[in-house]
Amino acid sequence: MTQAIVTGATSGIGHAITLALRDAGHDVLALGRDEAALAALDREPGITARRVDVTDRTALRAAIAGTEADVLVNNAGLMPPLTPFPDLDEAEIDRAISVNLTSVLALTRVVAPGMRARGRGHIFFTGSTAGHAPFANLALYCATKSAIAGFAQALRLDMAPHGVRVTEIVAGRVETGLYRDLLTPEQRAAMYAGNSAVQPTDVAAMLLHVLAMPPHVDVARFDILPTHQATATGAARKDR
């Protein structure tokens, strides 16, 4: 049985991926911060759940000690305030960079050498359309996700000679709790009205398809968008 590590595993995309990998036969180490959600995951067969702040490198190393992961899903991330960049607090900038980028580099640096030595493995990064197109009031988020996009594609070239694959997940509008603290319930309801958003389980299903590709195939990135989101920046939904 192969081992997998998933960060941000307690909700949304990370939770769906954790369950999907377990159902596909992987032994999953689920990392997150929500104690209640972690306790529920830990009761699931095939899943070991641990509470960890991904920005704490010492704690992160301790949490994954002894795990020889063949699958790493760098999913943990946050959405900074939806504010013009000049109005952001410096602490908000530092926090977003630490969670969305620095912690991802740190965890990958710990896990990737083992994959390279074993000659197998697959590293996934949960990116965003915001890493490939501009959005107003999202300059900071765009910056962190653009960095992830560039890192993922360059890392793929580093790891390919050793049989390790790397994939960026370019997600469009996915119905998760990412905006829970930034938008009102009414705004969130409008955003996801009419079953127009991709579901976390859709992303998890696509990840399994990519993971199941033969070893000589490396899917560098996959874009998963709502059907009506015709472009990275969105398109008006046509009335029928």
By annotation, the residues acting in catalysis are 141
How far is the first Cα of the chain from the last one, in angstroms, to the nearest whole number? 48
Using alpha carbons only, what angle is made at residue 89 by residues 96 and 106, rounded to the nearest 5 degrees?
20
